[in-house]
């Protein structure tokens, strides 16, 4: 009786293992593309207004600062590619005797290789200046305080104070460009 029981167990195990060996496989082929893209926006959009005026006799005019805007970015860079953001005054001119400066804050939102902001730069029409370098594949987020905080400062240039003259509203446009380096 024991022999029959052992034979029955061996037969069941052999049958089960034979069933396990008869598995069928099916495969699916996929073609997957990740495209090289780069999108940027200034948030919120609109015109920033700044006015210079002296507060009392004997004082110079104080520098005006605006930190209300953020540059938001989505980038998928090619392998071994890095990007940079540059800025230039592309329309209008900064009034003589003044200087218009930009400081980009570090991006602490989003994820990926968000790059490193440059130190404070003076913007004019002469040349594009680096704002953020070393950008790879990344995103900065889309909330109202996501991205690189753009801090604009407009004030008197002490070296050319004598060139300062009163003006009515002067419009300047800053153009940001994203370049592969």
Report pLDDT for 167.
84
Is the residue at 52 inside a domain? no
Whether 151 maps to a domain, the answer reads: yes
Q: Which residues contact 113 (CB under 8 A, 6 or more apart)?
A: 77, 82, 134, 135, 136, 137, 138
Is residue 102 included in any domain, yes or no?
A: yes
Q: Provide the pLDDT for residue 56.
A: 87
Quickly tell me which residue has 């909330």 as its tokens. Answer: 143
10 within a domain of the structure (yes/no): no
Cβ neighbours of residue 56 closer than 8 Å, sequence gap 6 or more? none
Domain assignment of residue 78, yes or no = yes
Residue 180 confidence (pLDDT): 92
The whole-number average pLDDT for the span 13-34 is 72
Domain containing 142: what range?
37-45+63-157+172-180
Tens digit of each residue's pLDDT (9 = 90 or more) over 134-157: 999 999 999 999 999 999 999 999
Query: Number of folded domains in the chain?
Result: 1
**Which of these ranges, 12-26, 43-57, 80-94, has the smallest mean pLDDT?**
12-26
In a domain, 153, yes or no: yes
């Amino acid at each position: 009786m024991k022999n029959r029981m052992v034979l029955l167990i061996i037969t069941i195990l052999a049958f089960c293992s034979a069933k396990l060996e008869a598995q069928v496989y099916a495969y699916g082929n996929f073609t997957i593309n990740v495209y090289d893209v780069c999108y940027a926006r200034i948030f919120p959009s609109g015109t920033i207004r700044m006015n210079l005026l002296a507060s009392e006799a004997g004082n110079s005019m104080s520098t005006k600062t605006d930190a209300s805007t953020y540059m938001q970015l989505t980038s998928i860079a090619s392998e071994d590619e890095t990007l940079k953001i540059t800025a230039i005054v592309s329309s209008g001119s900064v009034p003589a005797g003044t200087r218009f400066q930009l400081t980009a804050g570090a991006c602490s939102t989003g994820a990926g290789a968000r790059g490193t902001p440059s130190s404070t730069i003076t913007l004019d029409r002469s040349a594009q200046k680096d704002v953020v370098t070393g950008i790879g594949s990344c995103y900065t987020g889309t909330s109202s305080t996501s991205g690189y905080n753009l801090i604009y400062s407009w004030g008197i240039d002490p070296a050319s104070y004598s060139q300062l003259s009163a003006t009515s509203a002067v419009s300047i446009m800053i153009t940001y460009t994203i370049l592969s380096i």
